[in-house]
């Protein structure tokens, strides 16, 4: 199959390298404009029945393999955005392909039970195995449907625990029961979640109240009066801007303190803080370990809870399984949410955040056992192929290459940042950034946007050094054209 596609026209000759996924093509191969005529027609067809405004191109997921996305026009694209930072093992990984040939696993997948009420008999073992293998020092897990769903539900765990501290062990009053149903206090109390400018936590209404990236996600929707704190905006390179960046940390922390006080005064205390260890869509915005240590102290002083949103950072692309492991926190956070690379969404949380009654944190499916089977296989491959190590090695090569390009094209490229392969850089302005993105696509490389004028790299964990070289070579050609 591959020989047929790649011999038609290969853009970049690459020396033979062994790939972590067998049968990967040697490089990108672009045959048409991207999106090509087939993708454009399919978009028109889909648009007749479903809003398709966001569609970039159509994939051929039979042919896509490893780090290469094959589109409907047979273009072979080096995919460094991995379906919006998902796909840890790329496309059609052999270990995942064989999973559902096992009859037991197939039946677990197709008879998708409502896990909250009728879990399969193998569920306790499965969940225990997950917690013991990947939990970030937190004893409990709760599976959900998507990132926004995980964040919204964990807010409820936070509110339950906050109110329980206040109420003690006494049960609900009659007044609480009747007012809860009609959205009034004391049953529906005035509490809030603090989030940060540039943070993204999802597009369902509750999660959206804590999302502050693009107006298009929010416009026309009523929202909650929840506090939004300033998030540090670092200058790069970090070692040349230490003093300014420490000031950024201080500015953000002072704002958090101020908002805790303001909302307490308004009698809508902050029950929890949600934060991404590195803001993803908001711009790959980092903050120091010291910053997060201080943030945790402020939260604890105010009897609130810290939730790390590791939906984009979790699962290995920073070179650690959980990005917040870089922060050396003296005690674990109260909850950590996940999705994307985990195949299934959900969160880990402390014992204190466990609900005390059924149906307080609930939905029909409570995750998906089929996706848990995929997650188990992902973790196994990550271990066997030492993929965290691979990410660190490849990430170093990518970053070094990007810094060299930044020096060569300093008038249009700056602020290379991030850890592992969770990297980004800025282009001089939004319009030029979009031009670079489209030119890359037409040369067979898929990247994602972030922040005002940033481009983010979100390759799979199986992305290797020879892929990095192909990418850097193509990026250099594009930057030369845009100079
Ligand atoms: C950090 C973060 N949180 C939450 C979400 C929302 O996840 P979903 O789109 O699965 O609801 C995203 C999605 O991009 C994300 O990057």
- Residues 231-249: tens digit of each pLDDT: 999 999 999 999 999 999 9
Helix axes 369-384, 387-408, angle to 10 degrees: 80
* Residue bearing the CA closest to ligand 1, atom 16: 312
- How far, in Å, CA of 302 to CA of 271, rounded? 9
Ligand 1 centroid from CA 174, angstroms: 37
Tell me, using a 6 A CB cutoff, whether residue 307 lines ligand 1.
no
Instruction: For ligand 1, pick from 153, 202, 280, 286 the residue to mutate: most ligand atoms within 8 Å of CB.
Output: 202
Average pLDDT of 441-449? 98
Mutation to probe ligand 1, out of 203, 205, 307, 339 (largest number of atoms < 8 A from CB): 339
Ligand 1 pocket, residue 280 CB under 6 Å:
yes
72 lines ligand 1 (CB under 6 A): no
Each residue's pLDDT tens digit, 342-387: 999 999 999 999 999 999 999 999 999 999 999 999 999 999 999 9
Average pLDDT over residues 139-165: 97
Cis check for the bond before 277: say yes or no (omega within 30 of 0). Answer: no
Is residue 83 in contact with ligand 1, taking CB distance under 6 Å?
no
For 169-219, what is each residue's pLDDT tens digit?
789 999 999 999 999 999 999 999 999 999 999 999 999 999 999 999 999
Tell me, yes or no, whether 58 and 109 share the same domain. no
| Atom of ligand 1 lying closest to residue 84 CA | 14
| Residue 84 forms part of a structural domain | no
Give percent of the chain with pLDDT exceeding 90: 95
12 domain residue, yes or no: yes
Q: Are residues 472 and 327 in the same domain?
A: no
Give the contacts of 418 (CB within 8 A, at least 6 positions apart): 278, 284, 286, 318, 395, 399, 424, 457
- The last residue of one of the domains, among 382, 413, 436, is 382
Q: Is residue 89 part of a domain?
A: no
147 Cβ below 6 A of ligand 1: yes
Q: What pLDDT is stored for residue 478 in this prediction?
A: 98
What does the buried/exposed string (b/e) look like for 282-320 if buried means 16 or more CB atoms within 10 Å of the residue's CB?
Answer: bbbbbbbeebbebbbebbeebebbbbbbbbbbbbbbbbb
Residues 247 and 341 in one domain: yes
Contact assessment for residue 11 and residue 443, using Cβ atoms and an 8 Å cutoff = yes
For residue 21, is it within any domain? yes
Q: Cβ distance 57 to 34 under 8 Å? A: yes
For residues 447 and 440, give the distance between their C-alpha atoms in angstroms, rounded to a whole number: 8
Return the best residue to mutate from 193, 199, 311, 315 for the ligand 1 pocket (most ligand atoms within 8 A of CB).
311
Residue 5's pLDDT is what? 30
Q: Are residues 324 and 395 in the same domain?
A: no
Cα–ligand 1 centroid distance for 313 (angstroms): 10
Looking from the CA of residue 310, the nearest atom of ligand 1 is 1
Task: Tell me, using a 6 A CB cutoff, whether residue 202 lines ligand 1.
Answer: yes
Span from the CA of 147 to the centroid of ligand 1 (angstroms): 5
Asked if 74 and 5 count as a contact pair (C-beta separation under 8 A), the reply is: yes
Contact 349 CB / ligand 1 (< 6 Å): no
One domain for residues 145 and 273:
yes
Q: What pLDDT does 19 receive?
A: 86
Mean pLDDT of the chain: 95
The CB of 311 under 6 Å from ligand 1? The reply is yes
How much distance in Å is there from the Cα of 22 to the middle of ligand 1? 31
Q: What pLDDT is attached to residue 18?
A: 80
Total structural domains in the chain?
A: 2
CATH of residue 352's domain is 3.40.640.10
* Ligand 1 site-directed mutation target among 148, 195, 217, most atoms within 8 Å of CB: 148
Among 340, 366, 382, identify where a domain stops. Answer: 382
Q: Which domain holds residue 318?
A: 104-382
Q: Output the CA 400–ligand 1 centroid distance in Å.
A: 29
Q: Is 211 in the pocket of ligand 1 (CB under 6 A)?
A: no
- 320, 198: one domain: yes
One domain, residues 188 and 294: yes
Question: Which helix (H) or strand (E) is 279 found in, with range?
Answer: strand 278-279
pLDDT band at 4, cuts 50/70/90?
A: very low
Residues 394 and 368 reside in one and the same domain: no
Question: How many angstroms separate the alpha carbon of residue 108 from the centre of ligand 1?
Answer: 26
* Residue 15: pLDDT over 60: no
432 with 347, same domain: the answer is: no
Which of 411, 483, 425 minimizes the C-alpha distance to 453? 425
- CA–centroid distance, residue 219 to ligand 1 (Å): 18
Ligand 1: residue of 340, 451, 458 to mutate (most ligand atoms within 8 A of CB) is: 340
pLDDT tens digits for 318-328?
Answer: 999 999 999 99
* Closest-lying ligand 1 atom to the alpha carbon of residue 150: 11
Q: Are 14 and 466 in contact (CB under 8 A)?
A: yes
* 27 and 114 share one domain: no
DSSP of 401-422: HHHHHHHHTTTTEEEEEEETTE
CATH of the domain at 75: 3.90.1150.10
- Ligand 1 centroid – CA 115 distance (Å): 23
CB of 146 within 6 A of ligand 1: the answer is: yes
- Rounded to an integer, the average pLDDT of 266-282 is 98
Give the Cα separation of 349 and 423 in Å (integer). Answer: 28
200 lines ligand 1 (CB under 6 A): yes
């Amino acid at each position: 199959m591959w020989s047929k596609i790649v011999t038609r026209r290969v853009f970049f000759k690459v020396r033979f390298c062994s790939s972590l996924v067998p049968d990967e093509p040697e490089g990108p191969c672009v045959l048409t404009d991207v999106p090509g005529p087939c993708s454009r027609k399919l978009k028109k067809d889909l648009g007749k029945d479903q809003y398709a405004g966001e569609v970039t191109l159509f994939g051929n997921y039979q042919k896509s393999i490893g780090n290469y996305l094959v589109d409907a026009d047979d273009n072979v694209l080096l995919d460094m955005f991995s379906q919006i930072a998902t796909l840890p093992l790329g496309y059609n990984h052999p270990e995942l392909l064989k999973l559902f040939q096992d009859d037991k696993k197939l039946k677990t997948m197709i008879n998708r039970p409502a896990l909250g009420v009728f879990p399969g008999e193998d569920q306790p073992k499965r969940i225990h195995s997950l917690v013991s293998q990947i939990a970030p020092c937190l004893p409990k897990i709760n599976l959900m449907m998507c990132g926004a769903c995980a964040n919204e539900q964990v807010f409820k765990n936070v509110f339950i625990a906050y109110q329980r501290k206040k109420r003690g062990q006494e049960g609900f009053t009659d007044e609480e029961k009747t007012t809860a149903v009609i959205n009034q206090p004391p049953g529906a109390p005035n509490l809030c979640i603090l989030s940060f400018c540039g943070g993204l936590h999802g597009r369902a209404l509750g999660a959206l109240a804590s999302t502050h990236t693009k107006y298009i996600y929010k416009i026309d929707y009523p929202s909650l009066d929840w506090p939004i704190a300033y998030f540090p905006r670092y200058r790069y390179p970090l070692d040349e801007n230490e003093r300014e960046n420490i000031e950024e940390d201080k500015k953000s922390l002072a704002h958090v303190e101020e908002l805790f006080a303001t909302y307490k005064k308004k009698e809508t205390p902050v029950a929890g803080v949600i934060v991404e260890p590195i803001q993803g869509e908001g711009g790959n915005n980092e903050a120091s370990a010291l910053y997060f240590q201080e943030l945790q102290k402020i939260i604890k002083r105010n009897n609130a809870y810290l939730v790390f949103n590791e939906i984009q950072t979790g699962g290995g692309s920073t070179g650690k399984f959980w990005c917040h492991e870089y922060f050396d926190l003296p005690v674990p956070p109260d909850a950590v949410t996940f999705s994307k690379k985990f195949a299934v969404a959900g969160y880990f949380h402390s014992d204190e955040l466990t609900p005390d009654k059924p149906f307080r944190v609930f939905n029909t499916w409570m995750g998906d056992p089929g996706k848990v089977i995929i997650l188990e296989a992902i973790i196994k491959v990550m271990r066997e192929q030492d993929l965290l190590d691979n990410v660190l090695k490849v990430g170093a090569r990518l970053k070094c290459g990007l810094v060299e390009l930044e020096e060569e094209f300093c008038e249009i490229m700056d602020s290379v940042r991030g850890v592992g392969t969770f990297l980004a850089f800025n282009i001089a302005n939004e319009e030029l950034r979009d031009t670079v993105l489209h030119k890359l696509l037409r040369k067979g490389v898929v990247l994602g946007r972030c922040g005002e004028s940033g481009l983010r790299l979100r390759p799979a964990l199986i992305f290797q050094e020879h892929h990095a070289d192909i990418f850097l070579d193509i990026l250099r050609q594009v930057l030369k054209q845009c100079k």
